[in-house]
Structure 1
Amino acid sequence: MISITFEVNFQVNAKTRQGEVVCITGDCEQLGIWDPHKAVVLTPESQNMDSKALNRDAAGSKSREGNVWSKKVQLRGQKEYNYRYFICKIIESDNEESERHVMVTCWETSIQPRRLFAQDFFSSEKSVPSEVATFGTYDGKSHITDGWLTDQSEIHIQLYNNPITMWNPRYRSDTYSIKCTALDHRYTMEMDDMMEEDYQNDTIPNSSSTTVLVSVLEDGKAKPFIQDQFGTICPKNGFMSFQAQTIHPEYLGFDLSFFVVDAAATSGAAKNPKLIGSACILPLDHKVSCDKKKIPIIGLKNKPIGQLEYDFLFVKPLVGFNFDMSVSYQQYWKTTRGSLDVGHRGMGNSYTTKKLASLRENTLCSLNTAGKHGADYVEFDVQLSKDQIPVIYHDFEVCITYRKKKKDDLQLLTLPIHELKLSELQSMKLTHPSSQVSEQLHEIMHSDDLDPEELQPFPTLQRIFEAVDEHIGFNVEVKYPQLNIKGEHEMPNVLEINQYIDKILKVVFQYAGARRIIFSSFHADACILLRKKQNKYPVLFLTNCDHPRYDPYLDLRARTVEMSTNFVVSMGLLGIDIFADILLKDMSNIKKIKDAGLVLFCWGEENNDSNVINTLRQHKVDGIIYDRINDFSSKKENIFMLEKKGKLEKLQKLQTASTSPETCDAMTMTDSGTSIETDTESS
């Protein structure tokens, strides 16, 4: 067979910040086989740009806008090539044996990648196409998604609820702007005796490879941006976060400069700034995922004038999984499907609702039965056992019945899930806290529990993937405890959050196959980790927005619709999964969330009503989570099964029509000439 080689000059118009480059990756060896570490690095066509080619973004840092990047690549063979462009920072590894470090800033994530057909080059004398692509725009569609953590870690410095305390009462009501600068503390590790004699406080160099972004959870300021020269105003009773990525978190520190600004300023860029002091954050203990800290603010006369209280969050890459760039669903949703039906814990809550589900919740049987009755997705809760195996169960604790010293004196004993091994969870006879009546306890204590596996509680996440029909989508709710507004912890001493999320993600990516998956969590930081550690599946932020039926969380990001919406926008999550009563009492909340470009799911006992379900459908709520799906949609079929049937019918028609010589010739010209595109969409 003759191998034909041809040259392609890939050209794209892209905006980059200082230190960033544009790369291309695709489905062949010459383009790196979708691996960002093996991608082809493009070159800016105008190396020596004049001042007109430079502009200053919101932070005042230089960036290229409209600069063309290009590279000639030799391709071989008669086939269709698929590829994408992405923007990244490349840092050469200190170890000669390891690959370069690639920190993806953003990448093209249209469901269908760019395409190039080899035969287009064979029929033309020109080997270089003249068209210059626009980054993120292809085939009439535009879709760009922020990168994920490949080799680097990400640090968040979170400020909320008036974190600045000035000791002089006269200055406590002032408005302050904060500028955060990354510092490279490797310099201090390498100091010798001669350097120490000349050492000054300002000699720690800035970290040139680290860009600090800021996000303020207010309308129009939520998406992270580069800071202004004088920082960003810290909102009173609000939430702001500084974010930085680094290959070496053990050396990354921060310098915070504080400016007093006009009292009329409320947020955004500082006006008439006056420097009043600074604070220093030394490199954080990267073995700790999150914590709360207080540091002094030092005035211009080198004396403490106040203090800053902040939380930090370490987001670490998922080790052992190299995510490729072939496809991403993190910010994709197929709106033509209408509202999807989501089975709550499978067939529904079987313990605490007014009308209980007929099958035990969060079991194999409950999940499969929901799918058979038309559930497009099933929602279930995942947490870790003591031996760190992801299991399916809703509550953070289990109850068992035990007999006290008196023969007939029975009582419930509550035990945390994370303190019991999988074998213990699956072997013990459980009681739900709702079973408080003595007669019920006696009946439970003296009856056998010999149900088959599919009806037993605590199936593992792995087993769920193996035993539930692959057409049924999974809404995986990650349970991770947090503080309520009283400062009380839902469940203390749980495995630290990075390890916790990693254990769940490893099972998902080992057994997911082609299944549609959506992650969700009430824990805002867990949502950040779920989003940043992988580049494939979308994430929803679960919230009840301080509804009086529930104890509110301490986390400000979960307290209101506006704050939750801005948090989702800031972290590039797919959308919000909100308590239904919040929407039903104020339907304008649906428009607010939709106007922000977010996908909207809702949950709650209010959804267990056909009139409510129909109302939510009419308002184009994307996913409706409810119990006992067979009571409301007995004739409905899973949408993904229907779509598969439709595609198979189209394929059969094409195969029937492809018997003519003309059709056979067309099939020979391209590998995908008669194929029906596989529906690989996650949602």
Structure 2
Amino acid sequence: MYRSRERLNVLKSISILCVQLQLLLLCGGTFVNETSVFGPEKLQAFKIFDDEQQPQISARSFICVPLFRVFSLELGNNIHLAADEYVAVSGDHPALGSWQLDKAMPLKEQDKARSKWYLRLWICASQRFYYRYLVYSKNAEGKRILRSWEGQKVARMLQTYEMYRSPGVDIYGEAYPTSVGGGFHLERGWLQHEYVIELKFVWQDHFVISGISSNAKYRLTLTPLNVMDDTRIEVSRFSYNHSAFRAQSQQGVKYIPGTALIYRIYQPLDTYNAFRLSLYQSNRDIKLSLGEAYIFPEQIKGSRGILQLPIFASLQNVAIGEVTLPYLVVQPMPKVEAGNLRASFHHYWPDNWPTLDVGHRGLGASYFQSSTSFTENTIESFLAVEQAKGDMVQLDVQLTKDYVPIVWHGFGFYTSERDQPIRDRFDLRFVLIRELTYSELKASRVFILKRWTVKEYTHLNVRDRSQSQRIFPKLSEVYEDLPKNLGLLVEIKWPQLMASGVLESTQSLNKNNYVDRIIQTTIRYGCGRPLIFASFDADICTMLRLKQHVFPVILMSIGKSNIWDPYMDLRTQSYQQAVNFAQSAEILGTALHVENFQNKQQSVELGLNLQQVLFLWGNDLQNVHLLEQFRALDVSGLIYDHMDQVGPSAWKRSAFFRAHQLLELFGAQCVASGNSTTIPGVKPAKPTIWPKLR
């Protein structure tokens, strides 16, 4: 035994001498690098390998120093969790799930009130990482349903130099209180494993009840009749700054004819429930209902419709009236699981941005204005806005019969047979875009009526014409041909029901598929640029909001106007109602006709005070002095014609979105939508302490 110990000591002495010898060589000026270990061929192979690697924004190719990190969270701001709701944390680090909802790390309850949560986790400390908190529930299959999540533009961050500090306590929804885009900000989760039904009281009159005035006030309650408690009901009653959806109270909700009220029902996919709508007179005992209407699953078909429901007297099988109730069904996007928690852009439009100049259909409506330089809604006209130093372009999108998104303003156009001579308008027939496949559309003759004159535009609908000059460009072509620094306001067309009861046009395409195809095209070809979805159809705005989280949405509205006939939908009949809807649907803001503000310009504050954006549109905005007046009021954007004549080119140095940092910012859309794993043009984060490994 003694001899073995002696041999061990000798070996230790030899190893110590070797280490000292290496140190002496270094001190003597001899530098040991990779050439001392690898030959030239190996080093060249390493270099080629490094050059071929695509930078990954979530890459973790650094030495991992494990750290026991404590996440501690409190629920403030009167936030209370339901019994089936839980808290988790997600981040760009693999240990936090790489922004994937199903891989987010659940926190543990710390008190009976479920207001304090914590998580202890070993995590790499070699690089800063980003993280967000979220609230989720689980369906019967164990899949997570995202209820809410922190939506600040910049996620919470832990720097390497903070790794060994006491973590402190985070407040759910509050981060970066002094920064633009920071403060308290929670986002509603997008639809994944459930769908939504909205029952909409958005017309002037819905109830006809025998012996009761049409102006009578009611209290309504909606009750699911299912055995399983898998339905969640929220209600929004429009009132300025109090229009957000909330859980239905046991006493129901007040309803006054002429005001907007919406029930929103969340149900698991492939679940179909019946509901009872109970009516109470507001001045009588709440325990005894005036009448009841029943909604059965087979009555709700497709994406939209109108229910005609009999109202039965309470405790009697006698009909005493009828309720007319439009509804909307919102299904999740196909392959929605590709989306992640990297970022949300639903409310990203900082209030310190300047008033933006937006070209209406390019340089303006051309078919009825002879002074316009280029044909409207063509790539050529859009590019001219960039030359005029405009910031954004507004364009109109709708779908063909085979669901190809194309750019065209009207719901149709006049056409005729190929060889038919045209003498007057009676030789033409009107065809709707939705009635033609894309190939049929591109083979059509195109005519526009200007009062009683007929003008043909077929020469702009042929293959030998330059793509930038063609009418009916595909939305994907527009995205590919326009520079990223030219912002887009994509208006989605859908015919509206007028207050007179007449439809603008007819539409037979499935509304969910219609919206899905536009979103899919935009994610694939249009992400990574300033882009806002817009529509005159409030339901499309709702669908855009619930289906995705990477593109902001605004409601376009006529409001109160002496020029345009009003729509039936109360949400579109005034600026205040549009503001209420924007708050209810949790969208970015509104775009109103300028006529609503010409005599009361200060009313723009209604939306701006609620951190909503406001764009203005209308022919009157071709006046330079009027444009300057609204710029002085800090509206978010001005949509107008003839930007080359009255636009900002004389005084503006360059378009706003030409700043490279802004394009990097919007590049996160591609990552959040699942279209990319990296932000184009942005280098991956570098380690602050540890060297990179080969």
TM-score, L = length of structure 1: 0.82
Paired residue for 1:517?
A: 531
Which residue in 2 is equivalent to 1:352? 368
Matched, 1:418 2:408: no
Q: Work out whether 1:461 is the aligned partner of 2:461.
A: no
Q: CA deviation at 1:591?
A: 1.7
- Equivalence for 1:553: 567
8 Å contact kept, 1:19–1:209: no
Mark the structure with the bigger radius of gyration. 2
After superposition, the C-alpha distances for 1:289-331 in whole angstroms (9 at most, x for unaligned) are 1111122223333223333221111011011232111111101
d(CA) in 1 for partners of 2:174, 2:168 = 13
Give the counterpart of 1:158 among 200, 210, 220.
200
1:377-407, CA deviations, whole angstroms, 9 ceiling, x for partnerless residues? 1110000012210001101011235699888
Residues 473 and 415 from structure 1, CA distance in 2 versus in 1: closer, same or farther, beyond 3 angstroms?
Answer: same
> What residue is the counterpart of 1:430 in the other structure?
446
Matched, 1:243 2:260: no
Distance in 2 between the 1:170 and 1:146 partners?
39
**Which residue number corresponds to residue 583 of structure 2?**
569
Are 2:64 and 1:3 aligned? yes
1:120-147 CA-to-partner distances (Å, cap 9, x unmatched) read 33xx4x7xx3511001111222211222
- Cα 1:500–1:671 change in 2 (3 A) is farther
Question: What SS does the corresponding residue of 2:496 show, helix, strand or coil?
Answer: coil
Contact 2:418 2:445 in 1 (8 A): no
Shift of 1:417: 0.9
Structure 2 residue ranges without an equivalent (≥5): 1-61, 178-182, 666-684
**Are the equivalent residues in 1 in contact too, given 2:310–2:321 (CA < 8 A)?**
yes
Whole-angstrom CA distance in 2 between matches of 1:255 and 1:429? 52
Query: Which residue, 380, 397, 421 being the options, matches 1:382?
Result: 397
Letter in 2 for 1:414: F
Letter in 2 for 1:614: E
| 1:69 aligns to 2:86 (yes or no) | no
The letter for the 1-side match of 2:101 is P
Distance 2:175 2:388 in 1: 39
Q: Decide whether aligned partners of structure 1 residues 373 and 556 sit closer, same or farther in structure 2, where only a CA change above 3 A counts.
A: same
User: What corresponds to 1:120 in structure 2?
Assistant: 162
Tell which has more relative contact order, 1 or 2 (C-alpha 8 A, sep 6+). 2
Q: Distance in 2 between matches of 1:434 and 1:524?
A: 31
1:391-443 deviations in Å (ceiling 9; x for gaps): 011010112356998885673332111112222323434222227336x56xx
Aligned amino acid, residue 552 of structure 1: P
Cα distance per residue 1:519-553 (max 9 Å; x no partner): 00000101111111101111010000141211221
Match of 1:19 in 2: 84
Tell me the residue number matched to 2:657. Answer: 640
Quote the offset at 1:372 in angstroms: 2.3
Q: Which runs of 4+ in 1 moved over 6 A?
A: 403-407, 444-449, 645-648
Letter in 1 for 2:123: L
Q: Does 1:139 align with 2:208?
A: no
Q: Residue 171 and residue 287 in structure 1: after superposition, are their counterparts in 2 closer, same or farther (change >3 A)?
A: closer
Alignment of 1:207-246 (within 5 A): 207-246=228-267
Partner of 1:192: none
The answer on whether the counterparts of 1:250 and 1:284 sit within 8 Å (CA) in structure 2 is: no
SS of the residue corresponding to residue 69 of structure 1 reads strand
Question: Per the alignment, do residues 183 and 39 of structure 1 end up closer, same or farther by CA in structure 2, a change over 3 Å counting?
Answer: farther
Matching residue's letter, 2:291: G
Q: Distance in 2 between matches of 1:572 and 1:489?
A: 27
Q: CA deviation at 1:30?
A: 1.6
Counterpart AA for 1:86: L
Kindly state the Cα deviation for residue 477 of structure 1 after the two structures are TM-superposed: 0.3
Which of 500, 507, 514 pairs up with 1:500?
A: 514
**Residue 194 of structure 1: aligned partner:** none
> 2 CA distance for matches of 1:446 and 1:574?
40
Residue 191 (structure 1) aligns with: none
Q: CA deviation at 1:447?
A: 11
Q: 1:259 to 1:590 in 2, by over 3 A?
A: same
Out of 105, 128, 133, the position equivalent to 1:40 is 105
2:387 maps to which of 358, 372, 384? 372
Q: Which residue of 1 aligns with 2:602?
A: 588
Maintained 8 Å contact 1:349/1:356 = no
Please, what is the CA RMSD of the aligned residues?
2.8
Q: State the Cα distance separating 1:286 from its structure 2 match.
A: 6.1
Residues 207-258 of structure 1, C-alpha deviations (whole Å, 9 max, x = no match):
5232211111222441111222110111122121111211135322222222
Asked whether the 8 Å contact 1:482–1:491 carries over to 2, the reply is yes
**Separation in 1, partners of 2:242, 2:311:** 26
What SS is found at the alignment partner of 1:613?
helix
Shift in CA distance, 586/348, structure 1 to aligned 2, threshold 3 Å: same
Please state how far the C-alpha of 1:337 moved relative to its aligned partner: 2.1
Provide the rounded CA distance (Å) in 2 between the counterparts of 1:394 and 1:473. 19
- Counting matched residue pairs gives 595
Q: Which amino acid aligns with 2:372?
A: A
Q: Does the 8 Å CA contact 2:133/2:172 hold for their aligned counterparts?
A: yes
The 1:668–1:163 alpha-carbon spacing in structure 2 relative to 1, beyond 3 Å, is closer
For the residue of structure 1 that corresponds to 2:561, the secondary structure is coil
Deviations 1:265-284 (A, max 9, x none): xxxxxx86643333221225
**Does the C-alpha gap of structure 1 residues 494 and 529 become closer, same or farther in structure 2, counting only changes over 3 Å?**
same
Aligned residue in 2 for 1:88? 136
Alignment correspondent of 2:329? 314
Question: Is the deviation greater in 562-571 or in 428-437?
Answer: 428-437
Q: Deviations over 1:45-93 (max 9, x none)?
A: 11xx3xxx4xxxxxxxxxx6xx111122221251111111111222241
- Answer yes or no: is the 8 Å Cα contact 2:129–2:158 preserved in 1: yes
Specify whether residues 546 and 433 from structure 1 end up closer, same or farther in structure 2 by C-alpha distance, changes over 3 A only.
Answer: farther
Letter in 1 for 2:117: W
Q: Residues of 1 paired with 2:312 and 2:328: CA distance?
A: 24
Over 3 Å counting, the alpha-carbon distance change for 1:668 and 1:539 in structure 2 is closer
**CA deviation vs aligned residue, 1:565-620 (integer Å, no higher than 9, x gap):** 11111100110100011111321321222223311001111111111110110011
Rate the CA distance shift 1:493–1:407 in 2: closer, same or farther, 3 A.
closer
> Match for 2:289 among 241, 259, 275?
275
Q: Distance in 2 between matches of 1:607 and 1:558?
A: 21
Which letter maps to 1:131?
G
Contact 1:156–1:241 (8 Å) recurs in 2: yes
Q: 1:254 maps to what in 2?
A: 275
2:108 alignment partner AA: T
Contact 2:499 2:566 in 1 (8 A): yes
Aligned counterparts of 2:377 and 2:458: Cα–Cα separation in 1: 22
Instruction: Report the identity percentage.
Output: 26
